[in-house]
A and B are shown apart, each in its own frame.
Chain A
């Protein structure tokens, strides 16, 4: 099987949510001595990006994204030791992101999609869950020293807690070193500007795009 065929198989495995096919593609890549970084970037990740695009255009849904991520993970897991042996990395230089639904808000589906897409994009995601007290969010930021802290609010009555997070981040001296990110149905760019959040995104793929485009604060 040629290099292109193996890479295409990896991409197709993600699009078809096929774990066995993904494992086969990864094993064949190792047998043929292919560059694991290229197989991941041009095969698995490309397939995942297509799934993400179909999700954003509402042609595919959360179970499909999770199933595709499952297939991708199976393939990447096989390639990872090879990656480590060669001393290579995916080379994206991406950092940690702490994410949660804000205090008082139990809605988590959108936040979990963002967490998943950030993870797929190469960020180390620490998903705290839902209805997380503002002080705990800042506490976790102190512990993990992430590049970003993301909060999601689905209600106008809970989005006001994003102000508290901004204030507590400032008080803790973390605001200068951490990108604060906000999202959720009632949240807008204007709201983000008003409360001093660094990044607003309307959906998961926009969140990844915007974070990718930002320089870490420290």
Chain B
């Protein structure tokens, strides 16, 4: 009987596969990505390397010496204190203590200050508190600290915001009205994010992390790209990281364009160039995990997307590696075997600049 290796399904369940089955799944995942995004399929050396990584029996693996990359942690400020049934550990502590633990105990290379709501809009009424927190954090931290939040344009639609929900308008076949609502919300989103970051930069922030761009579709990304452009103009030296919500830009508007480029349907290698054009320093692709497929299939697919982005991106790529993205199972607290094997493949095969 052929030897079997313990891997995961995309929902976190254990699955045991032979080397041949792992190889077949990595190839199939790669072909799926190549077909969708019109990028090259992984070559046999890359596939062999991923297969070898997945067969390493250790629960936790690391990259080879000399191939280390910077690692940061979005919303890590809240991960120690937070306990919402997710990966928070519920130890009473301040955001500052959370950040210092990440810097001094966990080896994070950069950090972000984030508010509990973790969206830009709710920061507006508490901006003074956030500015003060940033000042205190900067006085205590050594690694670069940026301000981080999600554009989360959904908060600008009713019942949370002033504009009609495009989803409801589309259900009523009001396409033009839905597109107009998206454009109006994007204008407000840009305005708010720029205003908040002007305040945070005055308080000593090293920059901004726009996390989960495009979560509310192409309009969400449009509003963010315009904010990046405005901030780059005003603060030429600030760090701007733009990370995605998913592998492809969802077309909830369908026709909205930035710099002449229609945003709906863009894949990571195309997103990277646009992020750079707008003024980002770092781009973070987020490749979705398919829960019905194995980690071999998901990782082969994710590495294919990200490798193509690395090759075409004019700026460094810090890939999102966490629950449900980057070949990691969609599970509240992803297992360390899945996280570390996938991360090693992203660094050594896809060639990412950071995680």
Contact = CB atoms under 8 A, between A and B. Distances in A.
B170 A59 contact: no
A109 interface: yes
Interface string B296-325: 000000000000000000000000000010
A187 B291 contact: yes
Given A58-B36, A202-B292, A109 B167 contact: yes
A191 B170 CA distance: 31
B250 interface: yes
Interface in A27-81: 57-64, 66-67, 69-70, 73
Nearest to A17: B175
Interface residues of B, number: 28
B251 A62 contact: yes
A112 B265 CA distance: 20
Chain A contact residues: helix, strand, loop or mixed: helix
A62 B85 contact: no
B175 A186 contact: no
Contacts of A218: none
Interface residues of A, number: 26
A188 B291 contact: yes
Given A66-B173, A157-B85, A185-B291, A61 B167 contact: no
A189 interface: yes
Interface in B136-176: 167, 170-171, 173, 175
Given A58-B248, A66-B175, A188 B292 contact: yes
A187 B11 CA distance: 9
A169 B95 CA distance: 46
B251 A63 contact: yes
Contact of B331 (A67, A156, A185): A156
B253 interface: yes
Contacts of B332: 156-157
A63 B265 contact: no
Contacts of B250: 61-62
A44 to B, nearest CB: 15
Interface string A154-181: 0011000000000000000000000000
B178 interface: yes
Contacts of B265: 58-59, 61
6 contacts: A61-B252, A66-B171, A70-B175, A156-B331, A157-B332, A185-B330
Given A62-B170, A156-B332, A188-B292, 6 more contacts: A61-B251, A61-B264, A61-B265, A63-B179, A156-B11, A191-B11
Interface of A: 57-64, 66-67, 69-70, 73, 108-109, 112, 156-157, 185-191, 202
Interface of B: 9-11, 13, 36, 85, 167, 170-171, 173, 175, 178-179, 248, 250-255, 264-265, 291-292, 324, 330-332
